[in-house]
Chains A and B, each alone.
Chain A
Amino acid sequence: MGFLDIKQATKSYGAVQVLHETDISIEEGEFLVLVGPSGCGKSTLLNMIAGLEDITSGEIAIRGNSMNGVKPADRNIAMVFQSYALYPNMTVSGNISFGMEMHGIEKSERAKRIAQVSDLLQINHLLDRKPGQLSGGQRQRVAMGRALVREPDVFLFDEPLSNLDAKLRVDMRTEIKKLHQKLGTTIVYVTHDQIEALTLSTRIAVMFGGYVQQLGTPKEIYDNPANMFVAGFMGSPSMNLFPAKVVSENGQPAAEVDLADGRKATIPFAKESLASSVGRDIILGIRPEAITDRDGADRNSQAVHVVEAPVEVTEPAGSDTFVVSQIGGKDVTGRFRADVAVNAGETFPFAFNMEKAVAFDPQSENRID
């Protein structure tokens, strides 16, 4: 039993089921990120944890106590909303103390806690202002202050950074991470931004179509995506996915792929386990940073294989040059060093780090091990 347990939880609106049986258990101090595209059910799940939406079946428990039917106010949770949801008619300190006031905490204690939190978030100078007089970043801090001051069991964040501009978003992301490391609080965080998910979380639940597609640490999710959706959704630029056939080469399983100039290439897998799949059509998944120029390949990898492939496009991006080749009819992007001498139209050696390659079943779209 964990700190926050979601057991077989579902949510339906009439006949439409927006969240299918979901099981997630997190420990105290974990930072769980629910990530997925719009309409995947992540916000619904968060609202169910908050108690803002009823649970259709199953159970949600915090510290072992079932929260089914418990009002949001009695769950000892705090939430930071996408729009910050600061009360426009109250000052910053009024906003921060409102929840404590509703819970009957004495005035002297409230003042003490406001002082602590405003010190922590460096918003002391804003306490007498109204939310309308604050910038986006300041509102964000106040919203976090309002949540922190309650000293809740679980913090819920609903896309808290999506209203900020790009630079501020990165800064606030770092601050949230620092805050989590400092306070060791349990956090459930919803976002559609996969980079936020990877940078902030201790564990990620990737959601799509009302199902949790994969639950795991950022590294597990990134390196071993459970299916093609997770592979394509997490990571930027996203994982290359292209058709291949498993063949046997010198007794080892290898991927046979079609190159744009009509040749075929075979690239041996690093994993022996795919030997049982020989003869099968698969979708090969390999991230751009695992396809490099020869000198840029990972020296620690035991399974770098070079394929001479025609270059279709090069995209210099400053720190790297992205090189695209057609493999199996799909654009496959490799991340080459910035100063590599490669031109569109020529044939160039692409180094595949097959330790990082994964195979998917074209029908079920699930990973094959």
Chain B
Amino acid sequence: MAAAPAKSSVNWARIILYVLLVFFCIYYLLPLYVMVVNSLKPLSEITAGGMMALPQEWTIAPWLSAWSSAQVGVEATGLRPYFLNSILMVVPAVALSTLVGALNGYVLTKWAFRGSTIVFGLLLFGCFIPFQMVLIPMARMLGLMGLAGSVPGLIFVHFVYGIGFSTLYFRNYYAAFPTELVRAAQIDGAGFFRIFWRILLPSSGPIAVVCIIWQFTNIWNDFLFGASFSDFDSQPMTVALNNLVQSSTGVKEYNVHFAGAIMAALPTLLVYIVAGRYFVRGLMAGSVKG
């Protein structure tokens, strides 16, 4: 047993460190605090100048308004239909890009062909093409495919853009996956897809979580593609939120805007809270031999 530390060992450096950390923590959480309190008070309290104060009169009316009755587009529908648009866009786009990324990673590591490194390099290059560059060609493509201004069109755009990153994740993960397992499965009589479904995918949990979090946040938060390739009835949440805040008619209902902004941020927050601990674990996986 170690001896008890001397009585005078008050660690001032440590105390200062914690004070600083608590200060920064409050500083970073302040915007969230402002958003939450202001979304829960009547507009009159905000316009009276009490931005930082707790509500005198607690109300969820701004939330209800933002969700179902605020003026977003032409009609006063609230954010609800757009929230649904975003869900309809994000889920298939994330699922497709993750699955195809996994398949790409599998092929690039376990069934490498002549020029497979070049293919991988090009996919990687695709990750770093700025969004703005593809706007016009993509608009033309979507038009030709008959998907312009629709949710499936947005799914397609995000799916294609997501493949680069998801391939990168899975390729690096599968590169550390023992090739002998694939060979054993070959000898056992499993074919290309069976090996993928039965051997590779069940062992891909950590990297799949990383990929899903990454894709979900990016696609959910995307504004540019949403604004460029959607119609009034297929706009995602981010674009609708912008329309809500920017609408020029009537009084600016800050409390409703705050409520809408929190709504737009909630799903990504939820994904981080639920799957966040796998995120770091997955990022580390493959870097150290397991």
Name which residue of chain B comes closest to A71, CB basis: B186
User: In the complex, are the beta carbons of B184 and A79 less than 8 A apart?
Assistant: yes
Which candidate, A83-91, A193-201, A215-223, is the interface stretch facing chain B?
A83-91
A87-B199, A89-B203 as given contacts; A50 in contact with B180, CB under 8 Å: no
Q: Jot down 15 A-B pairs with beta carbons below 8 A, ordered by A.
A: A51-B187, A52-B186, A71-B186, A73-B187, A73-B189, A73-B190, A79-B187, A81-B184, A85-B181, A85-B183, A87-B198, A88-B203, A89-B199, A98-B185, A146-B188
Contacts of B183 in A (CB 8 A): 50, 52, 72, 79, 81, 85
Name which residue of chain A comes closest to B200, CB basis: A89
Name which residue of chain B comes closest to A94, CB basis: B198
User: In the complex, are the beta carbons of A50 and B181 less than 8 A apart?
Assistant: no
User: In the complex, are the beta carbons of A77 and B188 less than 8 A apart?
Assistant: no
Out of B180, B187, B199, B202, name the residue touching A78 (CB < 8 Å).
B187
Out of B180, B202, B203, name the residue touching A85 (CB < 8 Å).
B180
Whether B49 is near chain A, meaning CB under 8 Å from some CB there, is no
Name A83-117 residues within 8 Å CB distance of B: 83, 85, 87-89, 98-99, 102-103
Contacts of B185 in A (CB 8 A): 87, 98
Interface size class of A (residues with CB under 8 A): 20 to 34
Contacts of A85 in B (CB 8 A): 178, 180-181, 183-184
Residues of B within 8 A of A (CB): 178, 180-181, 183-190, 194, 198-199, 202-203
Name which residue of chain A comes closest to B179, CB basis: A85
Out of B180, B190, B198, name the residue touching A83 (CB < 8 Å).
B180
Q: In the docked arrangement, what's the CA distance between A52 and B180, Å?
A: 10
Whether A82 is near chain B, meaning CB under 8 Å from some CB there, is yes
Residues of A within 8 A of B (CB): 50-52, 71-73, 77-79, 81-83, 85, 87-89, 98-99, 102-103, 146, 150
User: In the complex, are the beta carbons of A102 and B190 less than 8 A apart?
Assistant: yes
Sample of 10 further A-B pairs with CB below 8 A, known A50-B187, A146-B188 = A50-B183, A51-B187, A79-B184, A81-B184, A85-B181, A85-B183, A88-B181, A89-B202, A98-B185, A99-B189
**Shortest CB–CB separation between residue A105 and chain B, in angstroms?**
10
**Shortest CB–CB separation between residue A146 and chain B, in angstroms?**
8
Name which residue of chain B comes closest to A75, CB basis: B187
Q: In the docked arrangement, what's the CA distance between A77 and B189, Å?
A: 10
User: In the complex, are the beta carbons of A99 and B188 less than 8 A apart?
Assistant: yes
**Shortest CB–CB separation between residue B16 and chain A, in angstroms?**
45
Q: In the docked arrangement, what's the CA distance between A73 and B199, Å?
A: 16
User: In the complex, are the beta carbons of B180 and A81 less than 8 A apart?
Assistant: yes
User: In the complex, are the beta carbons of B190 and A72 less than 8 A apart?
Assistant: no
Name which residue of chain B comes closest to A152, CB basis: B187
Q: In the docked arrangement, what's the CA distance between A265 and B26, Å?
A: 93
Q: In the docked arrangement, what's the CA distance between A340 and B257, Å?
A: 99
